[in-house]
Structure 1
Amino acid sequence: MALLAAIGTEGSISAAARKVGLSYKAAWDAVDMMNSLAGDLLVERVTGGKRGGGAHLTGRARELVAWYQAAQAEHQRFMEALARFGPDGTRHLDLLHSMALQTSARNCYEGVIGAIESGRINDRIRLNLDEGISLTATLTHASTERLDLAEGRRALAFLKAQAVRILPRDAADPDSASDGLNRWVGRINHRADDGALAEISLDIGPRVRITGLADPDASDGGLIPGELAAACFQAADVLIGTMD
């Protein structure tokens, strides 16, 4: 919304990006995403002309910015009222947000970003969950900027069960040489077979559980409730989101 408002005042995406502290590529990606989500153009690009082209907001975008600014003012009043309940008010609100979120991903985790290793194209994000448990996700640098990720910020991680491979604890994963491999060890809580695949849930900690798939006919066996097993998944398969 800050980018949209800046485009409205600056008349170009590059100038708006500088004003709000985004890279030029991140701003263009954000505009493309907003146009796609809206179903209508929010930002129209103009080429040529005396000023060499630029960008301007459509009527729909101007309405959206005005609505957002009004909603922000109401939200600020709400947060001031919430503060009168003390620190528990915000904590309860965060929990309600997490509970209301619905995705197709079977595995959803909330944690704090412990480290960001930046690269020219991709960044590696370490999300600290509970009791020393962490996972690594790989995002494009543009996504890191767009989500405004930083160490110490709370974030959500999503992982589809199909992306998690469950193996006996001591079995070697063929992708173990990959530096983007996450490997958690836990105790099998549940197993369900459909003949082609076995769906298995592991308790990694008191409040961390992961569900993945295994080959029910694997010769190494041992994947039965109560036994220890390993859950392996690639950092590139983890999606990161934020709640604010």
Structure 2
Amino acid sequence: MTDRVEGDEPEQRGPLELAGSVWFKSGEQTLGGASRIALLAAIRETGSITGAAKSVGMSYKAAWDAIDTMNNLAGEPLVVRSTGGKGGGGTTLTARALGLIDTFHAVESEHRKFLERAGAAIEGFAGDWALIGRIGMKTSARNQLFGKVASIHRGTVNDEVSLALPGGQTIVSVLTHESTETLGLKEGVAAFALVKASWVILLADDDGAPLRLSARNQLRGTVAAVTRGAVNAEVSVALDATTVVTAVITNDSVDQLALAEGQPVVAAFKASSVILGVTE
């Protein structure tokens, strides 16, 4: 399960309120959380994908994408669509899906009680719980960067989302409208960016001027460490006191750039190489 912590604005000095979300997992695969369970419940009530999608604020396509994902991860049908017939067809839930809704609501109720008790008993619980959720994330991407959505620019097919990092630099990601909608991305929303180390290109930063590259993301920092292997080297670049980006490049490239600790460099990668995610 993962949790989101919400509180009053600092100047109001009001009581801190905790909010949490429950996710069902099977091994390392996440089946779904509150938004997907809400979709299942809406299908149960309306009997149609169109009505359910409208009820939970999803597009028709995003709803079907979520259903396909749930069916695939469950290993058995949760949602069944029938066509034709005397009733004109429709969408129904299997017994497994109906049981899943009831179980989720029961677990969610107990989870809420736990948060209330913990929030009242443990000093600093709100901030610690949110951080534990972030650092506990497992992914094959070496670079896991946390920030807040600074802007969203919609295109014909894709959206361009800018994520402001704690140190002031920005990461840009290109993703589909459906992905933006499914993740609930809006300005100010906390999110994380995943970038594989092999997708990061390093360049010597001599004068700090913008580099003419097709890669949209150009993060400036200094070399923190160079770890050589038989063929490749792992180079850690400190963007600021808290954020580090890692690149995997050849040993020859390390030599050509004369990379050493403290050297200014630019870590560049394409916007299409950035995967965005959120914790509910």
State TM-score, norm by structure 2. Answer: 0.80
Residue 143 (structure 1) shift: 0.7
Q: Residue 108 of structure 1: SS of its match in structure 2?
A: strand
1:177 Cα offset (Å):
4.3
For 1:102 and 1:210, locate their aligned partners in 2 and report how far apart those are by CA, in whole Å: 17
Task: Determine helix, strand or coil for the equivalent of 2:239.
Answer: strand
Answer whether contact 2:235 2:247 (CA < 8 A) is retained.
yes
Alignment gaps of 5+ in structure 2: 1-36
CA–CA distance in structure 2, aligned partners of residues 87 and 25 of structure 1: 44
Matches within 5 A, 1:162-241: 162-170=198-206, 176-178=212-214, 181-218=216-253, 220-241=256-277
Q: What amino acid is aligned across from residue 117 of structure 2 in structure 1?
A: A
Q: Residue by residue, what CA displacement relative to the aligned partner does 1:35-73 show, whole Å, maximum 9, x if unpaired?
A: 111111110111112332221111111111111111221
1:94 aligns to what SS in structure 2?
helix
Following superposition of structure 1 onto structure 2, how do residues 27-176 of structure 1 map, counting pairs within 5 Å?
27-84=63-120, 88-170=124-206, 176=212
Whole-angstrom distance in 2 between the partners of 1:156 and 1:217: 32
**Alpha-carbon distance in structure 2 between the residues aligned to 1:221 and 1:120:** 40
Question: Is 2:271 the counterpart of 1:242?
Answer: no
AA aligned opposite 2:224:
N
Partners in 1 of 2:125 and 2:229 — Cα distance? 44
Percent of pairs identical after alignment? Answer: 39
Which runs of no fewer than 5 residues in structure 1 stay unpaired? none
Q: Does the aligned pair in 2 maintain the 1:166–1:213 contact within 8 Å?
A: no
Q: Deviations over 1:198-234 (max 9, x none)?
A: 2211001000100012333247422122211110011
Alpha-carbon contact 2:167-2:239 (below 8 Å) kept: no
State the number of aligned residues: 240
CA distance in structure 1 between the aligned counterparts of 2:121 and 2:243, rounded to whole angstroms: 29
Whether the 8 Å contact between 1:167 and 1:223 is mirrored in structure 2 is no
Cα root mean square deviation, aligned: 2.0
Determine if contact 2:157/2:177 at 8 Å carries over to the other structure.
Answer: yes
Mapped contact 1:13–1:28 kept (Cα < 8 A) = yes
Whether the 8 Å contact between 1:111 and 1:129 is mirrored in structure 2 is yes
Deviation string 1:174-204 (CA, Å, 9 cap, x unpaired) is: x9443x6200111111112234322211001
Tell me, yes or no, if the aligned pair for 2:142 and 2:197 is still in contact at 8 Å.
yes
Q: State the distance in 2 between where 1:81 and 1:115 align.
A: 36
Query: Could you tell me whether the CA contact under 8 Å between 2:222 and 2:263 is conserved in 1?
Result: yes
